[in-house]
Amino acid sequence: MSISPPSAAIKVFISYARVTEDEVLLKKLLTHLKPLALSGKIEFWQPLNILAGEDKNKEIAEHLNQAQIILLLISSDFISSDSQYGFDLTRAMERRAEHTAHVISVLLRPTYLDGEKVGDLQALPQNGKPVTKWPDLDDAFVDIVNGIARVVEEQKKVVLEQARTIQEPFHKLNNIPFERNRLFTGREAYLADLHTALREAQTAALTQAISGLGGIGKTQTALEYAYRYQHEYEQILWLTADTRDTVLSGLSRIAPILKLPVPQESEQTVIVQAVLRWLEAHEHWLLILDNVENLADIKDLPPQHARGHTLITTRSQIVSRRARHLDLAIMDATEGATLLLRRAEIIEQRQELSQATLEDQEAASKIVTELGGLPLALDQAGAYISETGCGLERYRQLYQQKRLTLLKRKSSTDPGDYHDTVATTWSLSFDRVQQANPASVELLYLCALLEPDEIPEELFSKGATKLGPVLSTLCSDDFEFNELMIPLRNYSLIRRNPNQILSIHRLVQVVLQERMAERNLRKIWEERAIDALALSIPPADYEQDHWARCLTYLPQIQHAIELLGARPTPSDINVQLWHWYGNVLDKQARYQAAETAYLQALTLSEDVLGKIHPVTARILNDLAEVSRLQAHFQQAEQYNQHALTMRETLFDTEHAETATSLNNLARSYQEQAKYHDAEPLYQRALKIKEAIFGPEHAETASSLNDLATLYDAQGKYSQAEVLDKRALAIREKVLDSQHPDVALSLDNLAGSYKSRGKYEEAEPLYKRALKIREQALGGQHPDTATSLGNLAGLYQRLGKYEEAEPLYKRALKIREQALGGQHPDTATSLNNLAGLYQSQGKYEEAEPLYKRALKISEQVLGGQHPDTATSLGSLAGLYESQGKYEEAEPLYKRALEIREQALGGQHPYTATSLGNLAGLYESQGKYEEAEPLYKRALEIREQALGGQHPDTATSLNNLAVLYRSQGKIKEAMSLSRRALEIREKTLGPQHPDTANSLHNLGMLYVDQRFYSLAGPLLKRSLAIYEQVLSAQHPDTILVRKHYMELRALMRPVGKGSSAKKKKNGKK
């Protein structure tokens, strides 16, 4: 193998403190170093070069270990930094002691230096004066660069000498059977780990074992370690240790190298003992035992009192008693792509990945993924690309067609690189496992047909009866299963982690699948794997540990579905797995994917089980629900009607599944504001469930919850609260306290409290619901967004705007990502955030959000939906706040018309639309048109919400302001006092609505020249606005203006103010 010429550029690593002062000086240093870089003498690296998504610590460690010159930019911040003064300096001093790097301290700013820590490091500038103390900084940096340039020239000489050393190895390396690998790539962290562990042992014997799958690069890593650290050893001894015979013969061949006084004709035992005695008598040696198949073969190595270092390479993971274990993993994307491109001669041997084109980087990364990051496979692929000139993308396409052929292929131009190909390496391993325990090979066959990365061990025990005559017995017994694992772990063919998860390399699967096909076994094991999965998967719900197990099984089921697609005749297993897959996707809020899975399950169920079948009805039921969640309400209604008709045909009319269909159809009606159609269905479903399950069952709680939701939508809050309380009590009793259904009941009950103005009772319930959903469903689930929006809405109602905004924003982001930009729930979040901005006077930020929400509602829900009315009213309110009355009026009118038709004339939301339109007329001085609308809104709210509700106070306030405008002071005073009393009681003394009532009542006193009564009210109102809304809010400015006018009026001479406070607090 040829040796590559040394790189012309010396690698320079720059360590500095991440503070502004040092970063400014760093940039100036880099500017002065640029001529050295442009001339090709150096290439420098510092942490700013790290790309987004890369492992920062790993990148720093790798470049620090590769650098030939290390610059430490010294300052007080550098000395106080754990990462720079701790890790960087420590490793730099280690490399200096190893004579593998030149370390220079660059004094940026004055600081105390610990002599023991930095030793006698070369310091620049040469006069020892920190850069910041120089009159001219450029002079200081020129001095520094000159010093670095001299070191660069010295390092180039060292590199040339090392190159000659590699080409003409020292005698201490003449036992190593391989030349240094010119393409060795990565593995820096492993090499550093090995080196540190062995160095810390000093002269005491310490054995390190590099283990891993065949082809993972164990021998190459040991080889690189030997060459890289040869200067630390007086002798490096290499033994091939795959059998006891090769160990003994290898020890015999070492004797002449060590010049032991043992005649060559002596018995082998005598020679071996002489070598063992030498190992005990000497130190500063490295013994490498390569490819140990059986630890018993090296039972006497190293000798008990050995004084050197031993490095073992083995496929076995079971070495902990003999050595410190280092498990070599597959290459990451960067390492793998770099090795591939170098081997394919697309980049030079010493070039980095970043020097390849972006197209080549992307193509190489795809091949690394296909080959599972296995170094041997990547080497074979690179050799093929180099020999044929086919290019990266054409190789990947060819590999997908002829995987095993390429894995078997040996390089024709450089056959000595590796003794065996990937396929040959593993075929030998399979044969040896077969000899050790034939049943272990059966387990391996099974794993070869599963998703490779996370195979749950419970699959083998729970699905044991489907695994054939041998494994059915062994996999149902923990002891026997452990015995099956031993040969597989001895050859690292299977990895087993403490969480009872197995993994297998995907290329091992490729070779095994071909082996099964050659023996006509693939179809048998494929069926066993799929049947075992079908028997093992948990229900797709949140009971016990089901959900966590579902997530573990999900990739397995996705893989099984791909296998099932190749079967010519579907079975009930196809139906089961597709339906389960849809259920899990549904729970993850991946609704489009879930719908596709359900449709596939429905088609299969109708073909295999029949069009009228309980399973078919269940799938229809799930399809309806996922359609509803996507706001496809008419489609959901059709699926639900079909499912209900089928269940009434299949079962008794009082059956539980019939009740489920009734509930679901009612929900479809409710979503479309068909409340009169929904209520009797909900009530019938509740009656059925109480009769079947009893009054204290979770199913009964679900029906109670559904009916309560309907009542809440109709404004029947008292009835809803009673049902919500009962549902919560049942769920807390029969379910886990952290169950998502408990969160649902908490949210619903909190909503009832909020609707009735019971805010202190609502807040802890909302918080508890949010905590449950974050823990049970995750931070990106739509239900978590619902809880965030609910809590934010409560804070907004209480005037806690700073607490509300981040919750609204987070809810919006979740819904956009999980549901898409055109979903009604996304529109709700947009409306909520816009409403908050409007409350704060941020009109320009609010308008585009309102418009986007309205567009979504019209497109998805239709022009006559109550939610569309909400969006219309919100946008109209914003226009009114900006004085754009002509734009606001048609929106308000359209919203009122929709609500009267969809919700009825006595609904609180209808009252809201009446109040909004009345307020607009009032703003334009159309008092006669406004008054009957305000009165009707007040009457609706008093009847629907009660006399002490904040919304009732809003109607009282609005009508009082109108009366004041008309000069009806007496009527206005009565209404204003009552509104203030309600708001102080329900919203608290610091709420903006309370400030609004204080202001309005104060202005009524001003109108009557009762200045002494008006002053405290306006002063208190102003203080609330300044604290809650800010000093520059329009309402704050208006109240301040009125208060200052009042103070002027209270002087000896003055006139009453005619200014009037425009009401707020409207919905």
For every residue of 708-759, DSSP letters joined together read HHHHHHTT-HHHHHHHHHHHHHHHHHHS-TT-HHHHHHHHHHHHHHHHTT-H
Q: Between vectors from CA 332 to CA 328 and to CA 338, what angle results, nearest 5°?
A: 110
- Distance, in Å, from the CA atom of 681 to the CA atom of 244, rounded to the nearest integer, reads 80
Partner residues linked to 307 by β-bridges = 283
pLDDT at 1063 over 70: no
Rounded mean pLDDT, 909-919 = 90
pLDDT in tens, 593-622: 899 999 999 999 999 999 999 999 999 999
Rounded mean pLDDT, 879-903 = 91
Amino acid at 581: Y
Query: Mean pLDDT over all residues of the chain?
Result: 86
pLDDT interval class at 252 (50, 70, 90): confident
Q: What is the pLDDT of residue 860?
A: 76
pLDDT in tens, 767-805: 999 999 999 999 999 999 999 999 999 999 888 999 999
Among 86-90, 490-494, 495-499, the range scoring the smallest mean pLDDT is 86-90
Would you state the structure tokens that stand for residue 143, as one six-digit string? 């001095």
With H, G, I as helix, E, B as strand and everything else as coil, classify residue 355: helix
Say if residues 1065 and 993 touch (Cβ distance below 8 Å). yes
- Distance, in Å, from the CA atom of 302 to the CA atom of 893, rounded to the nearest integer, reads 92
- Distance, in Å, from the CA atom of 707 to the CA atom of 714, rounded to the nearest integer, reads 11
- Do domains 10-167 and 171-327 share one topology? The answer is yes
φ, ψ (nearest 5 deg) of residue 566: -85, -10
Among 185-189, 222-226, 750-754, 851-855, the range scoring the smallest mean pLDDT is 750-754
Q: What is the pLDDT of residue 1065?
A: 39
- Distance, in Å, from the CA atom of 111 to the CA atom of 104, rounded to the nearest integer, reads 16
Rounded mean pLDDT, 876-887 = 92
Say if residues 1046 and 1006 touch (Cβ distance below 8 Å). yes
Preceding omega of 848 cis (within 30 degrees of 0): no
With H, G, I as helix, E, B as strand and everything else as coil, classify residue 360: helix
Report the percentage of the chain scoring pLDDT > 90: 42
Say if residues 591 and 629 touch (Cβ distance below 8 Å). yes
Q: Which of 870, 879, 972, 970 is nearest to 913 (CA)?
A: 870
Map out the domains of the chain as residue ranges.
Answer: 10-167, 171-327, 333-419, 427-535
Q: What is the pLDDT of residue 19?
A: 86
pLDDT in tens, 1002-1026: 999 999 999 999 999 999 999 988 8
pLDDT at 414 over 70: no
Under 8 Å CB-to-CB from 606, ≥6 apart: which residues?
616
pLDDT at 851 over 50: yes
- Distance, in Å, from the CA atom of 130 to the CA atom of 676, rounded to the nearest integer, reads 84
Half-sphere exposure of 93 (CA within 13 A, CB side): 13
Q: What is the pLDDT of residue 578?
A: 95
Rounded mean pLDDT, 188-209 = 77
pLDDT in tens, 1022-1060: 998 888 766 877 788 999 999 999 998 887 644 444 333
pLDDT at 526 over 90: yes
Q: What is the pLDDT of residue 924?
A: 92
Rounded mean pLDDT, 631-637 = 80
Say if residues 1040 and 1033 touch (Cβ distance below 8 Å). no
Rounded mean pLDDT, 341-355 = 88
Would you state the structure tokens that stand for residue 967, as one six-digit string? 């000069």
Q: What is the pLDDT of residue 1059?
A: 35
| CATH 3.40.1190.20, domain 10-167, yes or no | no
pLDDT at 194 over 60: yes
- Distance, in Å, from the CA atom of 901 to the CA atom of 8, rounded to the nearest integer, reads 82
pLDDT interval class at 400 (50, 70, 90): confident
pLDDT at 685 over 50: yes
Rounded mean pLDDT, 136-145 = 92
Rounded mean pLDDT, 506-528 = 91
Query: pTM of the prediction?
Result: 0.56
Among 505-509, 555-559, 803-807, 892-896, the range scoring the smallest mean pLDDT is 505-509
Say if residues 1020 and 1001 touch (Cβ distance below 8 Å). no
- Distance, in Å, from the CA atom of 70 to the CA atom of 105, rounded to the nearest integer, reads 8
* SS3 track for 448-507: HCCCCCCEECHHHHHCHHHCHHHHHHHCCCHHHHHHHHHHHHHCCCCEEECCCEEECCHH
pLDDT interval class at 280 (50, 70, 90): confident
Would you state the structure tokens that stand for residue 690, as one six-digit string? 């109480």
- Distance, in Å, from the CA atom of 482 to the CA atom of 500, rounded to the nearest integer, reads 12
| pLDDT top residue among 408 and 769 | 769
Report the percentage of the chain scoring pLDDT > 70: 91
Q: What is the pLDDT of residue 118?
A: 63
Amino acid at 28: K
pLDDT at 363 over 50: yes
Which CATH superfamily, name and number, covers 171-327? P-loop containing nucleotide triphosphate hydrolases (3.40.50.300)
| pLDDT top residue among 649 and 409 | 649
Q: What is the pLDDT of residue 589?
A: 67
Rounded mean pLDDT, 674-703 = 91
Q: What is the pLDDT of residue 1052?
A: 61
Preceding omega of 989 cis (within 30 degrees of 0): no
Q: What is the pLDDT of residue 1?
A: 31
Rounded mean pLDDT, 433-451 = 94
pLDDT at 832 over 70: yes
What is the number of other CB atoms lying within 10 angstroms of the CB of residue 220? 23
pLDDT at 493 over 80: yes
pLDDT at 413 over 70: no
| pLDDT top residue among 157 and 227 | 227
According to DSSP, the β-strands at 455-456 and 501-503 are antiparallel
pLDDT in tens, 22-81: 888 988 998 998 888 888 888 887 766 555 555 667 777 778 888 889 998 888 888 887
